[in-house]
A and B are shown apart, each in its own frame.
Chain A
Amino acid sequence: MKYLYLVWRNLQRRRTRTIFTLLAILVCFVMFGFMSTLRNAFTMVNAAGVDRLMMTNKVSIIQPLPLGYMTKIEAVPGVVMATHSDWFGGVYQDPKNQFPQFPVDPEPWLKMYPEFHLPPDQLKAWETDRQGAVVGRETAERYGWKIGDRIPLQATIWQPKEGSWEFNIVGIYDAAPGKDRTQFWFRYDYFDEHRRDGTGMVGWYLIKIANPSDGPAMSNRMDELFANSSFETKTATESAMIQSWANQIGDIGQIIIYILIVVFFTILLIVGNTMAQSVRERTNELGALKALGFGDGLVLSLVLAESVTLSLIAGGIGLALAWIIVAQGDPTKGMLPMYAFPVNSVAIGLGLAVALGIGAGLPPALSAMRLRITDAMRRN
């Protein structure tokens, strides 16, 4: 610790250079934070519940399943509860205004997703209003909806029997950052009665199981239950289902990792070059230190400490900046509902900062360690 002052003074030797090195590293960590966020948003890792299974039609998720499966599913041992949902796919005013809309059974739905919070009085209001709908905070804020508003949605898939689709906002749900707060829920009974086709069918089932580790086995049992029927099923844990959705988009996670590798490699070169330059300029001094009795190991550590300190300061500020930028909200305006700063990337980021500091500082530190006093003192 007593050498910290020396390290600090060395960093201030050429202030301009230190500042620009710091900025280069800082930018690199802003990117790291931002791209970890994107990666999480695209792979939707936050959405899955460990104890939830999802059951869809085997042919494709767009094919329906009969409502009658519900009782059969709930009769399977190990099932805590089941509920269903469907994709409404409506449009609010303009085709650009899209957000996920699901016809659901209010109480079971909220039991299935304890991560979504709805005040009890709003749930009560929802249960008494057939055209009632509950909307996530982000979507409500985006369109300026308040409780009591009447919202028309244009159908794209489900044509109404007559008239149009209109809903009363009776509640606004909230959830922790990083959870989807853009959904719009309305009552399945109203949906089923008011739609022109598809009565008595649902889009998919959600099944809560008692023991999360039984997920794969339970999934197989469910699918056997409906094998050889007219509506065969495909059941999987929610995380497997989401993973396969993310894979449909493409391997975004992998692309992001490739980009980050390019970024870190570039910054490593820049910082390494600067450190080497700065050590070369100080050859005389390092010789003097050694002449005073500083050991080889100490000289090595001093140079390494300098680059690690620089890297940690820049990395810390960079991550904090990324956090602030991400907190400003989703740049695609609602297309990435899981857009939130992943807390674990702070730890990973700081680890990377140390690694970057060591990687950049090691070559000059080694050459500083190997300096012979006589050569160093003579070199001009």
Chain B
Amino acid sequence: MGTLKQIFTVTLLSLRTVPQRAGSSLVAVIGITGVVVVLVGVLSIAAGFQKTLTSTGAPDRALLMRNGATTEMVSGLTGESVDTIKQAPGIARPNQVALASPSMVVVVDVNKRSTGTPANVPVRGVDASALAVRPEVHIVQGRMMNFGTNEAIVGKAASAEFAGLDLGATLTSGHLTRQIVGIFEANGSLSETEIWTDVHGLQQVYQRGNTYQSVLVRLDSPASFEGFKAWLTTNPQLELQVQRESEYYAAQSQQLTMIVQVIGFGIATLMGFGATFGAILTMYTAVVSRTREIATLRAIGFGSFAVVVSVLAESLTLAAGGGVVGALIAYVGFNGFQAATMNWQSFSQVAFQFAVTPQLMALGLIFALTMGLIGGLPPAVRAALLPISSALREL
């Protein structure tokens, strides 16, 4: 009998007998399911956060801040610098108007709806150019604010996460009072966690004079960036830092993504050891309960290799089951889950959705199969080494 055929027959036999050991097999499956749920669930936090920040950056936009500023929050630009920036080559200029949107950002304390505790919510002062530079922003409820008034519009995520940011409500914080006249969407980007109002009114309330914190510029093509940057950075009057918007936000997501990934993998690996020991126990139990059967097979001429493969196949099948179930539970339970956290770099809240990506689900499945393989190996070897004569005599 060919080895392949042997393997096939013995594997089929062991898989067919799995229902007889349903209890202990289920334990192994549940253990592996738990690990995969935790792994995929925790990593989906990092993936979601990263997705929100990276979807904020468009390759044909550049963000300008004062040199040395790590975030908009700590940057400062004078009105004159902003006027000079608008002269730079490479900026898109439909109808001769430079697409450059200066803004001022502050944070105000607004209570989280979920906990009732205060959170740093960013308020961005913008002028009428803001929408032309950010075409992804569009009003979904209410209307656009009028500039020069005490009106504000609020991002969809901010409205969902923070108390009192509803259409028609009034936001009051210190000397700032704003009527919320619209809710906007911005393609799931960071802007959706912001409150927007007229920049000149905001400058007055915060006594900032004619100063801004950043300018977001739309280039006529992504390739114009180098020339644009060179023109600005060689001007000694401007102490500027010019970055592609996408790079700025990618860098901001790094720290949190790193922490979550380290912790997620740490937890899943530890838990994976526990579940692997569980799988070993299950397979070991399976081998023990089939001692006489395996010995019989060996006695009638089946090779040890076929027996090893059959035990491994059983454990991998159970693991794959756990992996698939775990990935699905994680997807159903976590994908799209709305949360908000502190972005320490910008010192303000970011609302995002957990993202269970296909890559994460595949990773979970690989993790599960690894546990199955390691869990099946010692019992498989044990089965192969059973002394036939005494094993046949076992109960």
Interface residues of A, Cβ cutoff 8 Å to B:
16-17, 20-21, 23-24, 27-28, 30-31, 34-35, 38, 57-63, 89, 91, 95, 154-157, 159, 230, 232, 234, 243-244, 247-251, 259, 262-263, 265-267, 269-270, 273-274, 276-277, 331-332, 335, 380
Contacts and interface: CB of A to CB of B under 8 A. Distances in A.
Given A263-B34, A332-B262, A248 B69 contact: no
Given A249-B342, A262-B38, A267 B117 contact: no
Q: Name the residue among B258, B262, B274, B342 with the largest chain A CB count within 10 angstroms.
A: B274
A332 B257 CA distance: 11
A141 to B, nearest CB: 21
Contacts of B282: 273
A59 to B, nearest CB: 4
A251 B107 CA distance: 21
Contact of B174 (A38, A58, A265): A58
B278 A380 contact: no
B339 A250 contact: yes
A24 B278 contact: yes
Nearest to B264: A259
A301 B69 CA distance: 67
Interface stretch (B23-31, B146-154, B194-202, B385-393): B23-31
Interface residues of B, number: 57
A263 B274 contact: yes
Interface of B: 23-24, 27, 30-31, 34-35, 37-38, 42, 68-71, 73-74, 106-109, 112, 114-115, 117-120, 173-176, 255, 258-259, 262-263, 266-267, 270-271, 273-275, 277-278, 280-282, 284-285, 339-342, 347, 349, 395
Contact of B68 (A154, A267, A270): A154
A270 to B, nearest CB: 4
Given A89-B74, A266-B275, A270-B281, A59 B395 contact: no
Contacts of A247: 112, 115, 117, 119
Contacts of A250: 339-342
13 contacts: A21-B277, A57-B174, A58-B173, A60-B107, A60-B109, A63-B174, A159-B68, A230-B175, A249-B341, A263-B34, A263-B38, A266-B274, A274-B285
Contacts of B34: 262-263, 265-266
Contact of B31 (A34, A270, A380): A270
Nearest to B107: A60
Listed from nearest, the 10 A-B pairs whose CB atoms lie closest are A24-B277, A270-B278, A27-B274, A59-B174, A266-B34, A157-B74, A247-B117, A248-B342, A273-B27, A244-B117
